[in-house]
Amino acid sequence: MTNAALIAQPEGEDPAKGIGTGPFILDSAQPGVRYNFKRNPKYFRPERPLFDELEILVINDDMARVSSLLAGSTHFASELTPNIVGRLKSSPSIKIDVAGTTTFNYFVMQTNKAPFDNPDLRLALKYAVDRNLILKTTQAGYGTIGNDNPINSIYPLYSELPQHTYDPDKASFYYKKSGHSGAIDLYVSESVFPGAVNAAELFQQSAAKAGITINPKRVPTDGYWSDIWMKKPFCASYFGSLATEDQAFTQPFASDSPWNDGNWYRPAFDRLLVQARSELDVEKRTTHTGYRSSMEIMEISKTPVIFTHSNPRALWDHERNLRDDQIKACARTGGVVGINGVSKYMAADEDCTPETIVNHIDYVANLVGVDHVGLGLDAVLDPDEMPNLVKEFPNVWPESEADQWDYSSWRFILPEQLPDIAEGLLLRQYSDSDIKKIMGQNFTRVAAAVWI
């Protein structure tokens, strides 16, 4: 249980008494003031806890908590604001421990309400915020940039994504394209997260350089969560204690979630969320993950791992392609790298040929052996239909990114070119048995090892 709002309590028991299963037994409680505990003599670890009594004081004011800590009245304080932590560094009597968390602080736009139902305006605001400045100024550098999703490096399936970096020119372009004019109200309260008001003011300053007027509206702490959050179309918010990737995506984004504060409703996302929740096959989680996630998956996997359609980055430097240490890690699991036949990930369009794909096969085979390379062509057989598909599913392919999915200029290695690939391998002295492995036997070997 990582959420302080959830209390596991047997029916009929008094919540103020506790149930006595932890290292301490609740001795007395003054809600909002103090809680006193004594050591539990029946705790399952007889050598723990290391002290006989525990007193928790409720001190909501940050400076008062720090003063109590410096005076020795308290021995431990948690969740201090980052800027205050900086002041404590000079005290020789204070030890500071920094731990990563899953807390996610953000400004949320309700995507089904004007003017934020306009994707160009939303994209303009994403380019108009200087995230690095906010992190440095309001959080004293403690934390990482979330880039509009709650998954950070704490989670085992974390994947690095390209950042929306501060770009006033792009912000101005999309703002003009949106057709919006006038000030944009941003509701905020200091109680939402440490430095929230200052962050809103920095947002105002950075957006102004793109010709966008942000109007921070500071409101009292009392009533913020009942009167502002999920009521106003643009406000500060946060999530904490999102223990798993499933929870981190479900609570803020699932269409049926009561805490979907962006009013973001996407049936396609809901289906993917359910599929991911039930997916146990590790090898299906690598090609479309980032470097760190793939390396962690291969480190813990007990069965062969495959990259179904990825190429060596040493031959074609694309972020989707694999570094040499990823290829080697894959081979150590007994896995296979499926060479991709799409020009975007293989070579310049004019070099999308069987010879080029043989170059990629040859590179992997020389690096880790012929047992660990196969084909994953990823061919789009009817690229002329892709523009229609993009238009039909704007929730999957946003209009602002449609140019990335214009397959009309892409080139593909097609199945009918497989004999040419085999011939190219023969010319490079690959044996018949090796070519059979590359053409499919390596993948069937892995399938036999991992499929039930």
Q: Which of 256-270, 291-305, 320-334, 369-383 has the highest mean pLDDT?
A: 320-334
Q: Which of 393, 388, 420, 419 is nearest to 406 (CA)?
A: 388
CA-CA distance, 20 to 38, in Å (whole number)?
10
- pLDDT (tens digit per residue) in 342-352: 998 998 877 89
| 357 pLDDT above the threshold of 50 | yes
Q: In 3D, which of 358, 367, 339 has the Cα closest to residue 440? A: 339
Confidence of residue 8 (pLDDT cuts 50, 70, 90): low
Please state whether beta strands 306-307 and 336-339 pair in parallel, antiparallel, or not at all (unpaired).
parallel
pLDDT confidence tier of residue 2, bands split at 50, 70 and 90: very low
Mind listing the pLDDT tens digit for each residue in 187-229? 999 889 889 999 999 999 999 999 999 999 999 988 899 999 9
Q: Which amino acid is at 370?
A: V
pLDDT value at 109 more than 90: yes
pLDDT at 148: 86
User: Region 17-25: what's the mean pLDDT?
Assistant: 76
Residue type, 51: F
Percentage of the chain exceeding pLDDT 70: 88
3: pLDDT strictly greater than 50: no
Q: How confident is the model at residue 392 (pLDDT cuts 50, 70, 90)?
A: low
Band of residue 29 on the pLDDT scale cut at 50, 70, 90 = confident
Domain architecture of the chain: domains with CATH: 104-278 (3.10.105.10), 282-377+412-450 (3.20.20.140)
- pTM here is 0.58
| 353 within 8 A of 321, measured Cβ to Cβ | no
Mind listing the pLDDT tens digit for each residue in 40-79? 988 888 888 888 999 999 887 888 888 888 888 899 888 7
Q: Hunting for tokens 């009942």 — which residue is that?
A: 226
pLDDT at 436: 96
pLDDT of 125 above 60: yes
Neighbours of 27 (CB within 10 A): 14
CA 355 vs. chain centroid, Å, equals 37
How many beta carbons lie within 10 A of that of residue 385, not counting itself? 11
User: How high is the pLDDT of residue 1?
Assistant: 36
Tens of pLDDT, residues 423-450 = 999 999 999 999 999 999 999 999 888 8
**C-alpha dihedral over 226, 230, 233, 234, to 10 degrees?**
80
Q: Locate tokens 């813990």: which residue? A: 300
